[in-house]
Chain A
Amino acid sequence: MLTYGQPMTRTGNFSIYFIIRLYLLYSLIFFACTFLASCKQNKQEKVSLVWSNDKAVAIAIPEDLLETAGASADGKMLQVRVAKGEEAMLGDLSSKNGHVIFTPLVSLTRGLLYEVVVNNKVIGTVKVPLADAADAPVVLNVYPSSDTLPENLLKIYLRFSTPMREGESLQHVALLDQNSDTVKNVFLDLQPELWNKERTVLTMWLDPGRIKRDLIPNQKLGNPLQKGKQYTLAVANNWKDNRGLSLKEPFTKKFLVGTRDELSPDPKDWQLKIPSAKTNAALVISFGEPLDKFLLDETIRIIQEDNAGVAGRIEVTNQEREILFTPVDNWKPGKYRLVVQSILEDLAGNNLNRPFDRDTKVKTVKTDKPIYERTFEIKQPVSLP
Chain B
Amino acid sequence: MKKTLAFLVAGIAGIFFVAAIKPTTTTGFVNGTPEIKSISSLAFGPDGILFIGDSKSASVFAINTKDAKKNKAGAVEMKNIDKKIAAALGTEVANITITDMAVNPVSKALYLSVQHADGTPVLLKVNGDQISSFSLKDVNYSSVVLNNAPAEDAKDQRGRPLRISTISDLGYADGKLLVSGLSNHEFSSSFKSISFPFTDKQDEATLEIYHAAHGRYETAAPIKTFTTTEVNGKKYLVASYTCTPLVLFPMDQLKPGTHVKGRTVAEMGAGNTPIDMISLNKGSESFLVMANTARSVSKVDYKNIASFEGTLTEPVKGTAGVNFTLMPDMNKVLQMDKLDDAQVVVLQQKANGDVDLWTANDKNW
User: Residues of A at under 8 Å CB distance from B?
Assistant: 55, 80-82, 85-91, 104-109, 112, 114, 154-155, 163, 165-167, 185, 188-192, 194-197, 199, 201, 203, 205, 207-210, 212-217, 220-221, 240, 242-244, 292, 294-295, 298, 301, 303, 307, 309, 337, 339, 341, 343, 345, 349, 351, 354, 356-361, 368, 370-371
Distance to closest chain A CB from B114 (angstroms):
9
Once A207-B271, A351-B186 are accepted as A-B contacts, the answer to whether A112 and B91 lie under 8 Å apart by CB is yes
Q: A213-B217, A215-B243 known; A189 and B294 CB under 8 Å?
A: yes
Known: A89-B87, A196-B184, A197-B56. A190 touches B216 (CB 8 A): no
B363 at the interface (CB under 8 A from A): no
B301: min CB distance to chain A, Å: 21
Beyond contacts A89-B87, A197-B37, A345-B185: 15 other A-B pairs, Cβ-Cβ < 8 A, are A89-B88, A90-B88, A90-B89, A104-B89, A105-B89, A185-B270, A196-B184, A199-B119, A201-B184, A212-B213, A216-B316, A341-B160, A356-B219, A357-B217, A361-B216
Minimum distance in angstroms from A160 CB to a CB of chain B: 14
Which of chain A's residues have a CB closer than 8 A to the CB of B146?
none
Q: Is the beta-carbon distance between A370 and B88 smaller than 8 angstroms?
A: no
B85 to chain A, nearest CB (A): 9
CB distance from A176 to the nearest CB of B (A): 18
Considering the chains assembled together, what is the distance between the CA atoms of A149 and B7 in angstroms? 80
Q: What would 29 A/B residue contacts be, using CB atoms closer than 8 Å?
A: A81-B90, A85-B87, A87-B84, A87-B88, A89-B89, A104-B89, A105-B122, A106-B122, A166-B117, A185-B271, A190-B182, A191-B273, A194-B165, A194-B183, A208-B187, A209-B242, A209-B244, A213-B217, A215-B213, A215-B245, A215-B267, A217-B269, A217-B270, A292-B185, A294-B184, A343-B185, A359-B216, A368-B259, A371-B157
A199 to B120, CA, bound (A): 12
| Cβ-based interface call for B107 (8 A) | no
Question: Would you call B40 an interface residue if the criterion is a C-beta within 8 Å of the partner chain's C-beta atoms?
Answer: yes
List B contacts of A80 (CB < 8 A): 90
Chain B residue numbers with a CB within 8 Å of A358 are 217-219
Bound: A199/B188 CA distance, A? 21
- Name B90's contact: one of A104, A201, A207, A242 (CB within 8 Å): A104
CB–CB B90/A82 < 8 A: yes
- Measured between C-beta atoms, what is the minimum distance from B256 to chain A in Å? 15
- Contact residues, B273-329 vs A (CB, 8 A): 273, 275, 293-294, 315-316, 318-319
- Does residue B154 face the partner (Cβ distance < 8 Å to A)? yes
Residues in A neighbouring B115, C-beta threshold 8 A:
166-167
In angstroms, Cα B88 to Cα A357, docked, is: 47
Min CB–CB distance B78 → chain A (angstroms): 12
Which segment, of B92-100, B171-179, B192-200, B353-361, faces chain A?
Answer: B92-100
Contacting pair B182 A214 (CB below 8 A)? no
Return the chain A residue nearest B84 by Cβ.
A87
A212 touches B186 (CB 8 A): no
User: B153 interface residue, CB < 8 Å from A?
Assistant: yes
The distance in angstroms between the C-alpha atoms of A214 and B212, with both chains bound, is: 11
Considering the complex, give the chain B residue whose CB is closest to the CB of A295: B185
- Shortest C-beta distance, B166 to chain A (Å), equals 6
Docked Cα-Cα span, A330 to B11, in Å, equals: 70
Q: Is the pair B267, A216 in contact by a Cβ cutoff of 8 Å?
A: yes
B160: nearest chain-A partner, CB-CB: A370
A360 close to B40 (CB less than 8 A) = no
Assess whether B55 is in contact with A214, with CB atoms less than 8 Å apart.
Answer: no
Cα distance, A292 to B184, chains bound together (Å)? 11
Contact with A along B249-263 (1 / 0, CB 8 A): 000000000010000
Q: How far is the CB of B86 from chain A (nearest CB, A)?
A: 8
- Report the bound CA distance from A196 to B38 in whole Å: 12
Q: Does B158 contact A (CB under 8 A)?
A: yes
A309 to B153, CA, bound (A): 7
Instruction: Please measure, in the bound complex, the distance between the C-alpha atom of A105 and the C-alpha atom of B118, giving whole angstroms.
Output: 12
Closest to B222 in A: A208
Inter-chain contact B166/A194, CB cutoff 8 Å: yes
Most buried by A among B122, B131, B242, B245: B242
Which of chain A's residues have a CB closer than 8 A to the CB of B94? Answer: 165
Least distance between A368 CB and chain B CB atoms (Å): 8
Question: How distant is the Cα of A295 from the Cα of B89 in the complex, in angstroms?
Answer: 38
Q: State whether A214 touches B214 (Cβ < 8 A).
A: yes
- A209 engages B243 (CB within 8 Å): yes
Contact A213 to B40, CB < 8 A, known contacts A106-B116, A301-B154: no
Q: B162 near A: Cβ within 8 Å?
A: yes
In the assembled complex, B106 has its CB within 8 A of some CB on chain A? no
Q: A199–B212 Cα gap in the complex (Å)? A: 33
Expressed in whole angstroms, the Cα–Cα distance for A360 and B215 within the complex equals 8
B27 at interface, CB cutoff 8 A: no
CA distance A301 to B214 in the complex (A): 38
Give the residues in chain B near A243, CB-CB below 8 Å: 118
Distance, CA A185 to CA B244, complexed state (A): 14
- Enumerate the 5 nearest inter-chain pairs by beta-carbon distance, A residue then B residue, closest first: A87-B87, A209-B243, A217-B270, A194-B184, A106-B116
Closest to A369 in B: B158
Asked whether, in the complex, the Cβ of A189 is within 8 Å of the Cβ of B293, the reply is: yes
- Of the residues A109, A199, A215, A343, contact of B92 by C-beta under 8 Å: A109
Q: How far is the CB of A53 from chain B (nearest CB, A)?
A: 10
Write the nearest CB–CB distance from B14 to chain A, whole angstroms: 48
Q: Given known contacts A194-B165, A215-B267, A343-B186, is B90 in contact with A360 (CB within 8 Å)? A: no
Which residue of chain A lies nearest to B90 when distances are taken between CB atoms in the complex?
A89
Task: Report how far A106 CA is from B213 CA in the complex, Å.
Answer: 45
Q: Are B152 and A309 in contact (CB under 8 A)?
A: yes
Q: Hey, which chain A residues are within 8 Å of B99, CB to CB?
A: 192
Q: Which residues of A contact B154 (CB under 8 A)?
A: 301, 303, 307, 309, 337, 339
B87 touches A109 (CB 8 A): no
Report if A307-B153 is in contact (Cβ < 8 Å); known contacts: A82-B87, A192-B40, A192-B55: yes
Does B118 contact A195, Cβ atoms closer than 8 Å? no
Q: Which of A155, A201, A209, A292 sits near B270, CB closer than 8 Å?
A: A209
Interface centre among A91, A214, A215, A351 (most CB of B within 10 A): A215
The A-contacting residues of B in range 68-115, CB under 8 angstroms, are 84, 87-92, 94-95, 97, 99, 115
With a 10 A CB-CB cut-off, give which of B116, B118, B153 has the most chain A CB atoms.
B118
How far in angstroms is the closest Cβ of chain B from A114?
7
With A217-B269, A309-B152, A343-B188 known as contacts, the answer to whether A106 contacts B243 (CB < 8 A) is: no
Q: Which residue on B lies nearest to A309, using beta carbons?
A: B154
Residues from chain B with Cβ under 8 Å of A209 in the complex: 242-244, 270
